[in-house]
Amino acid sequence: MDSWTSSVDVDDEFEKLLIRMNPPRVTVDNTTSRKATLIKVDSANKHGSLLEVVQVLTDMNLTIIRAYISSDGEWFMDVFHVVDQDGNKLFDEKVIDRIQQSLGSRAQSLRSLRRSVGVQAAAEHTTIELTGRDRPGLLSEIFAVLTDLKCNVVAAEVWTHNSRMASVVYITDEATGSPIDDPDRLARIKQLLLYVLKGDRDMRTANTAVSVGTTHTERRLHQMMYADRDYDREDMGNSPAIDRSKPCVTVENCADKGYTVVNLRCRDRPKLLFDIVCTLTDMQYVVFHGTVGTEGLEAYQEYYIRHKDGYPIRSEAERQRLVHCLEAAVQRRSTEGIRLELCIEDRIGLLSDVTRIFRENGLSVTRAEVTTRGSQAVNSFYVTDSSGNPVKSETIESVRSEIGQTVLRVKDNIYTNSPPQESGRFSLGNLFRSRSEKFLYNLGLIRSCS
């Protein structure tokens, strides 16, 4: 065993021992606030702990309307004000028990959170990851290749941003329904998909990979797009969605406390906190204190952070990079376009046929969510025209007539973002100056008067 492996094993065992000695304490409080259920998590701290907790709450389809984050050395205490998808407090005992089991002392380690909703198991399908330059018709070509190779797509998610595309696709063998594990066949699949991704414009940066481990789809998409440098403004092009969805991000150093202060304002939407915490974690920043909230349709977030090496931001280039990466984290999921929802009996080649019809009618898919529920395919596509502009209604109706009026429906685009209204910048302000009553209220340890 080499020294690096030995060191990793020692760190891993120490981490497990620390959590066993100080298991997470989870409290679900329905009395403090009239409007939301408070979930309080006290736990031993490690890099990524905040993300793992937010990931569990997000995967349970809970909306975090407010949050207070505080960590001190080896310990953190977070409070999340959550509601269900209908905006109501949580009274279902099964849901509450699941929260406590997922986050509490019965979980042997925070590593167990990876088994939550949204994690795809390798035993059920083969995972293919794709990144490359986006172009009209690309998704149609990808699904057509998989169909020709006798692969059945059981689930997929596709994000596009800043002229880049990332996708996680879960496939099985068309004949057996089993994962594909033959090395020669997988090599052939990768080769042909890479050929499609490269086209005639992306000879160097296109990439394919086959994953045999568990994958949290949205977490992985953030990592893929970050690694693909979708935040790099040199590739922004002329997409009309960029300016309309641009959040307001400021990054400044707090010299007297040794932190970097990050403020973000944008239109509120589901999973916004998860997206931001993903990016900070991937960039190796540690959140020491933070607050999250909403004002009408607008969300604000503020974080006191340091790099994992213990230092605040040390250069203008680093500051600009963090601003661009946080903007990208918001924009990746804030898709422009019309949302089309397809609900139909699943069959082999369905996605290839549907996306071919989109392409033939001049539609470009900017985001897609593909799922299979029993025998039903439930798929969402966000589409624009080939130039990134809104699609004409007659084009949509033509597509619906070809696919089926009853199975392809137009849905409101709830994820479309717009610029926040000008307003004074929210500040955590008295986090350090008033650590008593205000901070106890923020943490939910004294009763709200709301």
Read off the pLDDT of residues 101-144 as tens digits, 9 standing for 90 and up: 888 753 444 443 333 334 444 468 899 999 999 999 999 999 99
Strand, helix or coil for residue 122: coil
Domains with residue ranges and CATH for the chain: 3-115 (3.30.70.260), 119-233+335-411 (3.30.70.260)
Q: How many CB atoms lie within 10 A of CB 84?
A: 16
Q: What is the DSSP string of 415-443?
A: T---PPPP-PPP---TTTT-TTHHHHHHT
- Asked if residue 301 lies in contact with residue 292, where contact means CB atoms within 8 angstroms, the answer is yes
Backbone angles phi and psi of 16, in degrees to 5:
-60, -40
- Asked if residue 49 lies in contact with residue 103, where contact means CB atoms within 8 angstroms, the answer is no
More confident residue, 22 or 250: 250
Least confident of 42-46, 348-352, 360-364: 42-46
What angle, 0 to 180 degrees and rounded to 10, lies between the N-to-C axes of helices 93-103 and 49-59? 160
Confidence of residue 271 (pLDDT cuts 50, 70, 90): very high
**Predicted TM-score of the model (pTM):** 0.83
Is pLDDT above 50 for 436? no
Is pLDDT above 80 for 293? yes
What integer pLDDT is reported at residue 114 of this predicted model?
Answer: 38
**Average pLDDT over the chain, rounded to an integer:** 83
CA distance 82 to 39: 7
Backbone angles phi and psi of 371, in degrees to 5:
-135, 160
Q: What is the DSSP string of 62-91?
A: -EEEEEEEEEETTEEEEEEEEE-TTS----
Strand, helix or coil for residue 44: strand
Is pLDDT above 60 for 422? no
Over residues 88-109, the mean pLDDT reads: 81
What integer pLDDT is reported at residue 212 of this predicted model?
Answer: 60
Q: What is the pLDDT of residues 57-66, one digit of tens each?
A: 999 999 999 9
Pairing of strands 37-44, 75-83: antiparallel
E strand or H helix at 120, and its extent? strand 119-120
Q: Bridge-partner residues for 285, per DSSP?
A: 307
What integer pLDDT is reported at residue 416 of this predicted model?
Answer: 44
What integer pLDDT is reported at residue 21 of this predicted model?
Answer: 53
